[in-house]
Amino acid sequence: MKKIILFVYLLVGVSQALHAQDFDFIAPSFEGEFEIDSTFTRDGGKSYEVSASGMAGEYGRVNLSYVFTDKLELEDAGEFTAFAWTQNGDDVVTATLQGTYVKQGPIFKIFSIDLTSERRMNLVTGIANFVERTMKFEVREFSTD
């Protein structure tokens, strides 16, 4: 009986390993550091709009515009959509940002997968601190192949 149970565990483990998915990162990560410029709500606190600006690796100065919501009414977690815009010389790059957040004490942890107008896909993790008015992110580009 022990051999059958061990065999089942091994079979399940191998099956999960074969179906696992992994990100194929194709560039070194870079950091983005932003100052929150404004935060407000239009609907009595059901959603919050946040504007921030700062520096992000090769993109230089970036402007961010977020809408944070809590559609599942979890109170300490939710989702967001956002838009990023930057210009270096004549080059303008935009991005759509979509992800989730989890509130942990005074910090909001942010997780996002973003698409740029250059057709780059980025995995983003970071924190927002509304008391200090800062947002900090680590960004990794990954392959979609």
Give the CATH number of the domain where residue 71 resides.
2.40.350
Structure pTM?
0.81
Is the residue at 120 inside a domain?
yes
Cα(38)–Cα(64) distance, rounded to whole angstroms? 11
133 pLDDT exceeds 60?
A: yes
Is the residue at 49 inside a domain?
yes
Average pLDDT over residues 55-70: 94
Q: Give the pLDDT confidence of 74-83 residue by residue, as tens digits.
A: 999 999 999 9
pLDDT at position 28 is 87
Cα(72)–Cα(144) distance, rounded to whole angstroms? 30
Phi-psi region of 34 (alpha: psi -120 to 50; beta: other; left: phi over 0): beta
Is the residue at 95 inside a domain?
yes
DSSP structure class, residue 90: T
Average pLDDT over residues 48-63: 94
Average pLDDT over residues 109-122: 95
- Using pLDDT thresholds of 50, 70 and 90, give the confidence band for residue 10: low
Name the amino acid, one letter, at 83.
Answer: F
Of the candidates 123, 110, 118, 113, the residue with the CA atom closest to the CA atom of residue 28: 123
114 pLDDT exceeds 80?
A: yes
Contact 97, 118 (CB under 8 A): no
> What is the count of structural domains for the chain?
1
pLDDT at position 103 is 94
21 pLDDT exceeds 50?
A: yes
Could you tell me the residue range of the domain that residue 49 belongs to? 24-142
Of the candidates 66, 76, 65, the residue with the CA atom closest to the CA atom of residue 107: 76
Highest mean pLDDT among 21-25, 85-89, 111-115: 111-115
**Chain-centroid distance, C-alpha 25:** 15
19 pLDDT exceeds 90?
A: no
Is the residue at 38 inside a domain?
yes
Is the residue at 73 inside a domain?
yes
Average pLDDT, rounded, for the chain: 88
